Amino acid sequence: MIRPALDSDWPAIWAILEPTIRAGETYALARDMDEAPARAYWLNPANDAFVLEEDGQVLGTYYLRANQAGGGGHVCNCGFMTGQAAQGKGVARAMGLHALDHARARGFRAMQFNFVVATNTRAVALWESLGFTSVGRLPDAFQHPTLGYVDALVMFQAL
């Protein structure tokens, strides 16, 4: 079940976000980011935030928001995170499909991911399988903790 995130979900969401942020391999966020700014970032009032819940456990979370203001407001942006114990179970795919539906329902005309780390091949393959294409490649734009400077992709899909 995918449903809007509640304030009371925050501890479960943080339990998913924190290891990913600390690992620093997939998101351009400070690895030592504190809980309060992480909450302000993920559950920002401008975001529609969701959780994927199974048997009362939050396994994944995503947010959706406009990627730009003004004349760019018809393109949305999302961030997705899956709990480490729930990897490989289709959680991200289910959230991705939900996000595409939600974006269409809100009237967005496209979805854009600004910064998909190219070495995150599982994510790249997932988004491609859901219809996204890489419309940009940012050379050496991400400093990976073990791989050094790697590219990041801009992925896009018209809705």
Smallest separation (angstroms) from a second copy to the CB of 55: 33
Instruction: Classify 150 as helix, strand or coil.
Output: strand
Our CB check for a second copy shows the closer of 58 and 67 to be 67
Distance separating alpha carbons of residues 143 and 149, to the nearest angstrom: 4
Smallest separation (angstroms) from a second copy to the CB of 19: 14
Binding site for a second copy (CB under 8 A): 21, 24, 27-31, 33, 68-75, 109-110, 112, 114-115, 117, 135-145, 149, 152, 154, 156, 158
Our CB check for a second copy shows the closer of 35 and 140 to be 140
Paired residues of 110 in beta bridges: 75, 158
Smallest separation (angstroms) from a second copy to the CB of 82: 19
CA distances for 81 relative to 101, 109, 137, 148, 151, angstroms: 18, 23, 22, 23, 20
Our CB check for a second copy shows the closer of 46 and 85 to be 46
> Closest by alpha carbon to 112, among 80, 68, 153, 155?
155
